[in-house]
Amino acid sequence: MVFTSFVYVAFLLLVLVLYFTVPGSAQRGLLLVASYLFYAYWKPQYLVMLLGITTVDYVAALRIEAAPNSVAKRCWLALSIVANLGLLFFYKYYDFLATQFNIVSGWGGWGGSLPLLDLLIPLGISFHTFQSISYTVDVYRGACRAERNYLNLALFISFFPQLVAGPIERASHLLPQLVRVNRFDLDCCMSGALLVAYGMFKKLVLADNLAVLVEQYFTAEGYGGGALSLIAVYAFAFQIYFDFSGYTDIARGSGRMLRIEMIENFRSPYLSTSVREFWRRWHISLTDWFREFVYKPLLRQGFGRSMCVVVVFALSGLWHGANWTFLIWGLLNAVFYFAMKDDQKITHLAEEGGDVAAASRGMAAVRCFLTFNMICVTWVFFRAADVFEALRVLWSIATMGGSMGAGVARVVGEHPSRLAIILGALCLDSSLELWWPRYAWIDALTARKSWPYWIAFACLAYVSLLLGQLGAEQFIYFQF
């Protein structure tokens, strides 16, 4: 069930009405049934997998809490981690590793080969396995209590707004909101609805229109080739941002309408003045997960900070997909992470919303430009089908086959109306982020409960329907 479909809108409205109509004790059951129906809409048989991993983590957490000694605790924790990562490995990485083994076997003349299973990756498996692992590790550490009610834990793992692509939530934050009785709140409903409309706008109008340019020009050759590829790389940088942040807005807005608040996942990442800052603003829940469950444990084991950073970025790359391109993407981020340190003064003032001197603003602009282009280099590998395609695109840009003017002229000539839509929408979104950061405009409009709110909501909905690419593109992160 795609978030930008009319089916999802109808589903959400039905859940919303039923959720605040049924008795409080039945709310959790309703949400769980709705979440399983949401997942089954895609592929019903994979519900068995979701139930299986929920059962393993439920039992493991209870046994961890009741274990008489640390050895027993570690054994039960290991069971949970192996079950979750084993499932992730089987569906997502087996075919990739089997293919690499068969290639090496052919080179070495060993004669053996592994069968390829061609498995369909379960929807959202990378997200819900990480969320499940965070739960059992938190129980092991004593950061939260093991959940005694199986249905409560099942809802935490499968909650439909964030099941497919996050944000990756911690049990201490999300679980109490799911198990309490929630009463209808007009402010939450209006704020959530506007956030959903804004997410739809980002996805349908911006991301999906940009996707057309990326698809056509990413590997462009001949007349204006290098310039076209550069334009496509920049277009993809914004496409993936609006695609993923649009999904997150819809997820958070859906939860907010149910009075369930999820964590922020993006914070104007392309305004970052270093790659380090970028990763504090981009996919925040994944960054926090790797920091808490990979970086810090490795650091406590005596690994150097630099080594920990490299391992985290390498694993983050592989988490995104079973392809060498994702590993290179992660390692390139590590290289750029070390290449430019944070400017502490700029970072502090920017985060606090303070005034920055003209010289500092100029330096911040330069650093922002450099950071954005570093990130764009990494996006080439993220988008490319294989390493050779990525290198061809980078070589085409470096040698700049065709002038930039010719490239721009071709894009304008072939997509005049689409470019007008994209530029207009970009101006609107940039204005909102610069003048009302962190969605303050949504809170301001909701608080007034007057005609500006309804105009904003109606305009977002109308523009999305009129100018959006309805049903054209799946969310990028659904493949992970």
Please tell me the distance from the alpha carbon of residue 405 to that of residue 248, in angstroms, as a whole number: 36
Please tell me the distance from the alpha carbon of residue 77 to that of residue 75, in angstroms, as a whole number: 5
Of 315, 311, 282, 307, nearest to 477 by C-alpha is: 282
Per-residue tokens: 470: 């309805």
Of 362, 366, 387, 304, nearest to 338 by C-alpha is: 304
Q: What is the pLDDT of residues 442-452, one digit of tens each?
A: 888 888 778 88
pLDDT exceeds cutoff 80 at 57: yes
pLDDT exceeds cutoff 80 at 164: yes
Please tell me the distance from the alpha carbon of residue 177 to that of residue 373, in angstroms, as a whole number: 40
Q: Which residues contact 376 (CB under 8 A, 6 or more apart)?
A: 233, 234, 237
| Nearest 10 degrees: Cα torsion 83, 85, 87, 91 | -170
Q: What is the pLDDT of residues 273-322, one digit of tens each?
A: 899 999 999 999 999 999 999 999 999 998 999 999 999 999 999 999 88
Asked if 56 and 79 count as a contact pair (C-beta separation under 8 A), the reply is yes
Asked if 309 and 331 count as a contact pair (C-beta separation under 8 A), the reply is no
- pLDDT for 415 equals 86
C-alpha triplet 377, 380, 385: angle, nearest 5° = 160
Catalytic residue among 128, 173, 283, 320: 320
Q: What is the pLDDT of residues 405-414, one digit of tens each?
A: 778 888 888 8
Please tell me the distance from the alpha carbon of residue 278 to that of residue 276, in angstroms, as a whole number: 5
**% pLDDT > 90, the chain:** 56
Query: Taking phi first (over 0 means left), then psi (-120 to 50 degrees means alpha), and beta for anything else, what does residue 145 get?
Result: beta
Q: What is the pLDDT of residues 383-418, one digit of tens each?
A: 999 999 999 999 988 887 667 777 888 888 888 888
Which residue has better confidence, 138 or 466? 138
Please tell me the distance from the alpha carbon of residue 163 to that of residue 121, in angstroms, as a whole number: 14
H runs (alpha helix) in 93-170? 94-108, 125-141, 150-158, 160-163
The radius of gyration computed from the CA coordinates of the chain, to the nearest angstrom, equals 23
pLDDT exceeds cutoff 80 at 376: yes
Asked if 136 and 120 count as a contact pair (C-beta separation under 8 A), the reply is no
Look-up of token digits 């050779």: 388
Q: Which residues contact 225 (CB under 8 A, 6 or more apart)?
A: 396, 401, 402
pLDDT exceeds cutoff 90 at 438: no
Catalytic status, residue 128: no
Mean pLDDT confidence for 78-91:
93
pLDDT exceeds cutoff 70 at 382: yes
pLDDT exceeds cutoff 60 at 358: no
The mean predicted confidence, pLDDT, of the chain is 88
pLDDT exceeds cutoff 60 at 472: no
Residue 222: pLDDT band with limits 50, 70, 90? low
Per-residue tokens: 313: 């970025």
Residue 362: pLDDT band with limits 50, 70, 90? confident
Report yes or no on whether pTM surpasses 0.85: yes
Of 84-88, 417-421, 472-476, where does the model show the most confidence? 84-88
Please tell me the distance from the alpha carbon of residue 69 to that of residue 295, in angstroms, as a whole number: 26
| DSSP conformation letters of 377-408 | HHHHHHHSSSHHHHHHHHHHHHHTSS-HHHHH
